[in-house]
Structure 1
């Protein structure tokens, strides 16, 4: 198959690369935090692989070779001054002062099934942990090569030596990057996260949807942890704690003059999510819930009207 691909057979090239397409997309998404950017970089990766087939000597597997190309393309994209940053939306009301302004405004949800092949024995994160929004957002705050080292080593399970080879650096440099990345990236105890589709998860999501669509601010706040966050990419506004989140929700409800949201359930990043629709307007984004124990630790509302359609929700 490789010989046929090198001879210019596009069908052979597709047979060679298609088994890895989905997991490469998820890899690019982890590195970039944006599905739009990940899809673009995946196409760049496959084009570079097609053009560089003559240079593939077979000393590694085709999968590892593709991961090398994808990782380097992601690093180039992160460093590029021309990387697309979405325009900051203008709210239709004057919001309360946020707790902070988050720089990661390009964050997007992932509707894809996680496919990482078979993670190596060095993996420290499960597939579920490594696709949660908190993990994806945390990676965006790391220096690019630290993020790459952590994903290759702790998510995909490549050894330190293999990671060094993929990043064209030394094992010592990889160990140093991993130490700094692990120190900066908070690790969540997976035992505190309700299992996907479990009765506890479904009940918490149901109660949230009922309160949110009724503009029952107190009902929403009762479901949150003390340090819960509300974020709204691509808007930089981030609110922490019940008081701050309640002030924002109350201002939002007052600005709509009785018009209510309607939520359609779905899943994103392995977490409960909802397509968000506003009466008289239509689709207005996607809500993703991060759960810890029997409470909600983060509500991420993505302000992108096209997201419900991308998640198969037509309202």
Structure 2
């Protein structure tokens, strides 16, 4: 049987990413999905290919989630999803992908849920599937799927940022672009006061896969003073970019004696109102996927 699998690859990749919060793990999950689909091709009835693939992919992701070792409350495997990867190519069901928010705070909240609850919530609230199809996708009864969804909703509300009571995609706010510009200007000027001025009082900074976490301005201030002070490692240049449909800044550092600014880190900003509520910092290895230059 000739199965046209590749036309569903992008939306399956996004689905697996949301289940697993990791681009490499999502890629592995899609490959495993296609392998299982090929092995089971004789049992496919020839209809509803997309639903069949989603069912296999969800099972793969549940298996991966159960196999993971949990360490603390932070999602150590969290990775960014560069916007150029989301924008690449066109899928038949582009609307489904467009509806999906992949905001980092939402992804982290999802990982708190048991795998089946996570799958039930994504199926109903993101993919828009009815209860019967949700149950089929997860491999449980309709009653169990409804129960899983209810528990997932209740748990998720306690872990989402206070300003978000839904998980629908949203258009970027004008304030986000302005705050990103101010964030970049403060860093390039090595102005700790200006950087603190755009941050919320209870700002949270995380650096996955490292377990470290900084909560509040008092915790952030020493970091900025060290990065921008007279003993700093060099000068900064930052480029605006987009990650997980969120504003982000790619930082380049020119160390003393060097003539080039070299990749250093990637900061993803979560904006709440007119302030930066959260910064998730990743390594520079994502610069190439973002189409950023290797040096400046």
Q: Distance between the aligned counterparts of 1:64 and 1:245, measured in 2?
A: 46
Q: Distance between the aligned counterparts of 2:104 and 2:138, measured in 1?
A: 25
Length, aligned pairs only: 277
1:113 aligns to 2:101 (yes or no):
no
Give how far 1:199 is off.
3.8
Q: Distance between the aligned counterparts of 1:256 and 1:27, measured in 2?
A: 45
- The equivalent of 1:180 in structure 2 is 151
- The equivalent of 2:263 in structure 1 is 283
Closer, same or farther in 2 for the Cα pair 1:258/1:44, shift >3 Å?
A: closer
1:311 aligns to 2:283 (yes or no):
no
SS in 2 for 1:173: helix
Closer, same or farther in 2 for the Cα pair 1:103/1:258, shift >3 Å?
A: closer
- The equivalent of 2:64 in structure 1 is 77
Give how far 1:241 is off.
1.4
Q: Distance between the aligned counterparts of 2:217 and 2:195, measured in 1?
A: 9
Give how far 1:182 is off.
1.2
Q: Given that residues 102 and 237 in structure 1 are in contact (C-alpha distance below 8 angstroms), is that contact kept between their aligned partners in structure 2? A: no
Q: Distance between the aligned counterparts of 2:248 and 2:20, measured in 1?
A: 21
- The equivalent of 1:97 in structure 2 is none
Q: Given that residues 152 and 158 in structure 1 are in contact (C-alpha distance below 8 angstroms), is that contact kept between their aligned partners in structure 2? A: yes
Q: Given that residues 227 and 233 in structure 2 are in contact (C-alpha distance below 8 angstroms), is that contact kept between their aligned partners in structure 1? A: no
1:55 aligns to 2:50 (yes or no):
no
Q: Distance between the aligned counterparts of 2:146 and 2:193, measured in 1?
A: 47
Q: Distance between the aligned counterparts of 1:70 and 1:184, measured in 2?
A: 24
SS in 1 for 2:211: strand
- The equivalent of 1:207 in structure 2 is 182
Q: Distance between the aligned counterparts of 2:170 and 2:201, measured in 1?
A: 18
1:294 aligns to 2:274 (yes or no):
yes
Per-residue CA deviation, residues 50-91 of structure 1 (Å, 9 max, x unaligned), is: 221111124x510000000111111111122589x9xxxxxx
Q: Distance between the aligned counterparts of 1:127 and 1:261, measured in 2?
A: 36
SS in 1 for 2:99: coil
Task: For structure 1, list consecutive stretches of 5 or more residues without a partner in the other structure.
Answer: 6-12, 86-100, 120-124
TM-score normalised per structure 1: 0.80
Q: Distance between the aligned counterparts of 1:178 and 1:256, measured in 2?
A: 52
Q: Distance between the aligned counterparts of 1:307 and 1:161, measured in 2?
A: 39
Q: Given that residues 126 and 155 in structure 1 are in contact (C-alpha distance below 8 angstroms), is that contact kept between their aligned partners in structure 2? A: no
SS in 2 for 1:157: coil
Give how far 1:260 is off.
2.6
1:265 aligns to 2:240 (yes or no):
yes
Per-residue CA deviation, residues 125-153 of structure 1 (Å, 9 max, x unaligned), is: 9725x211111111112111111111111
TM-score normalised per structure 2: 0.84
Give how far 1:212 is off.
2.3
Q: Distance between the aligned counterparts of 2:114 and 2:235, measured in 1?
A: 41
Closer, same or farther in 2 for the Cα pair 1:20/1:256, shift >3 Å?
A: farther
1:127 aligns to 2:99 (yes or no):
yes
SS in 2 for 1:264: strand
**Which piece of structure 1 moves more, 238-247 or 146-155?**
238-247
SS in 1 for 2:287: helix
Q: Given that residues 190 and 229 in structure 2 are in contact (C-alpha distance below 8 angstroms), is that contact kept between their aligned partners in structure 1? A: no
**Which piece of structure 1 moves more, 270-279 or 67-76?**
270-279
